[in-house]
Amino acid sequence: MDNQTTDRAFLIGEGKNVRAHKLQCVGMREERIDEMIERKEKSRVRCADQGLVRTVV
CA 20, CA 23: separation in Å to the nearest integer?
10
> Which residues of the chain are under the pLDDT cut of 50?
none
Q: Give me the pLDDT at residue 38, please.
A: 92
Residue range of the domain that includes 31: 25-57
In a domain, 8, yes or no: no
Q: What pLDDT score does 36 carry?
A: 92
**Could you tell me which residues come within 8 angstroms of residue 12 by beta carbon, excluding any fewer than 6 positions away?**
18
Whether 6 maps to a domain, the answer reads no
**So what's the pLDDT on residue 50?**
86
Asked whether residue 52 is assigned to any structural domain, the reply reads yes
Q: Cα(first)–Cα(last) distance of the chain, in Å?
A: 30
pTM: 0.47
Nearest C-alpha neighbor of 1 from the set 24, 17, 16, 22: 22
How many domains does the chain fold into?
1
Predicted local confidence at residue 2, as pLDDT:
67
Q: What confidence score (pLDDT) does residue 57 get?
A: 63
Does the residue 57 lie in any domain?
yes
Has residue 30 been placed in a domain?
Answer: yes
Q: Return the pLDDT at 55.
A: 67
Residue 49 lies inside a defined structural domain of this protein: yes
**In this predicted structure, what is the pLDDT of residue 32?**
85
In a domain, 35, yes or no: yes
